């Protein structure tokens, strides 16, 4: 009896230790991505400049020569790596929150798609995990579909960071890149565009479900020009993982944010999550709140090389209605009250 009691206690200790190790790995996996998002581009640029001033300058010079040669690769579909997309670290990243991908309809491999992702959140954590990694099984749920998450083109001017982003299937959110993927890369491509962009990130806060969409029609025009079907995507919980200081319209804080957004392409947010060692302190780590990304029903789009504004407005209206229906159908399943309304700005 004593021996079995000791063995049982040791087993309990082993599983406790394993649980703690897994939790620490989850924290590390999320921390490395947050640091990548915030500082990797600037840090790699400064390190490269420093190496140019040392005896190892030839290494930096060789990389810069490669950079010049490879400059247009992001505009041509990038250079994805299934090995990187399947790293174990992304599974720990997924389980930290956790993040889940929900499929509602099949997607034909004979068509191309533009996914509209909502809401932006602070860092688009659900968009990254679901579409730039295989952690939630996007390849198994949508066989034959190649997802490309579109992000700021400026990220691809940063050394090292650009290569890291491309390995996950991330591409610049510009006309050249989208045109190439939808017209010269065959079928079965899905470009994920966070439609609300930086403007939407300024309003994200826990408990708020709002999207910046009324005047965002460029993605609809692109879909018409390429005959790419539109797919609404809503990520429940994306706004819950960080707390943000929201500046009122007309305040000096909002004025500064909008100036940054206009001239640089992103809006600086004042936000915080939890600390590295405790969830009761402030820090850069997001709160471990569940994020569930629901991929809705595709809207069949005809190919019109030069669509009129009336045609763009018509399909944009269809898209907005489809997104609202998707939100209303699944909101109660993922923790929201039936009375919750999606605010479309």
Q: Using CA atoms, how far apart are residues 179 and 337, in angstroms rounded to an integer?
A: 40
Taking only the tens place, the pLDDT of each residue in 202-241 is: 888 899 999 999 999 999 999 999 999 999 999 999 999 9
Torsional sign, CA 256, 258, 263, 264: positive
Give the confidence band of 255 by pLDDT, cuts at 50, 70, 90: confident
Measured CA to CA, the distance from residue 324 to residue 209 in angstroms comes to: 11
Q: What is the pLDDT of residue 191?
A: 97
Structure tokens of 118? 């909502």
Arithmetic mean of pLDDT over the chain: 91
Provide mean pLDDT across the span 57-65: 94
For 210-252, the DSSP string reads EE--TT--HHHHHHHHHTPEEEEEEEETGGGS-EE-PPPTTSH
Work out the pLDDT band at 137, boundaries 50, 70, 90: very high
Give mean pLDDT, residues 10-18. 57
Q: Is the pTM of this model over 0.85?
A: yes
* Of the candidate ranges 112-126, 197-211, 319-333, the one whose mean pLDDT is the lowest: 197-211
Mean pLDDT for 261-272 is 75
pLDDT number for residue 9? 54
pLDDT band, residue 201 (cuts 50/70/90): confident
Give the pLDDT mean for 321-334.
97
The fraction of the chain above a pLDDT of 70, given in percent, is 94
- Beta-strand relationship, 146-151 and 343-344: unpaired
Model pLDDT for residues 270-309, shown as the tens digit of each residue: 888 999 888 888 999 999 999 999 999 999 999 999 999 9
Q: Model confidence over 34-45: pLDDT tens digits?
A: 999 889 999 999
pLDDT at 189: 97
Angle 273-92-266 from CA coordinates, rounded to 5°: 45
């Amino acid at each position: 009896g004593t021996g079995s009691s000791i063995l049982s206690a040791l087993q309990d200790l082993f599983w406790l230790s394993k649980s703690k190790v897994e939790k620490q790995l989850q924290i590390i996996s999320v921390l490395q991505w947050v640091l990548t998002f915030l500082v990797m581009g600037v840090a790699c640029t400064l390190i490269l400049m420093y190496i140019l001033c040392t005896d190892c300058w030839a290494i930096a010079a060789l990389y810069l020569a490669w950079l010049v040669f490879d400059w247009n690769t992001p505009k041509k579909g990038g250079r994805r790596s299934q090995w990187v997309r399947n790293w174990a670290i992304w599974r720990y990243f997924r389980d930290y929150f956790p993040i889940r991908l929900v499929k509602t309809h099949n997607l034909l491999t004979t068509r191309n798609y533009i996914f509209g992702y909502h809401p932006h959140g602070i860092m688009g954590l659900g968009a990254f995990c679901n579409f730039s990694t295989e952690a939630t099984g996007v390849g198994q749920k949508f066989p034959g579909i190649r997802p490309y998450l579109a992000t700021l083109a400026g990220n691809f001017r940063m050394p090292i960071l650009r290569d890291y982003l491309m390995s996950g299937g991330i591409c610049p959110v510009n006309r050249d890149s989208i045109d190439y993927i939808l017209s010269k890369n065959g079928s079965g491509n899905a470009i994920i565009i966070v439609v609300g962009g930086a403007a939407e990130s300024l309003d994200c806060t826990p408990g708020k479900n709002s999207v910046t969409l009324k005047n965002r029609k460029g993605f609809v025009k692109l879909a018409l020009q390429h005959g790419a079907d539109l797919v609404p995507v809503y990520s429940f919980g994306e706004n819950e993982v960080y707390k943000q200081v929201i500046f009122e319209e007309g305040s000096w804080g909002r004025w500064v944010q909008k100036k940054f957004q206009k001239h640089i392409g992103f809006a600086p947010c004042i936000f915080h999550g939890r600390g590295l060692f405790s969830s009761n302190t402030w820090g850069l780590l997001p709160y471990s709140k569940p994020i569930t990304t629901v991929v809705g029903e595709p809207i069949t789009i005809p190919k019109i090389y030069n669509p009129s504004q009336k045609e763009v407005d018509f399909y944009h209206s269809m898209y907005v209605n489809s997104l609202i229906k998707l939100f209303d159908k699944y909101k109660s399943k993922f923790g929201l009250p039936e009375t919750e309304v999606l605010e479309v700005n």
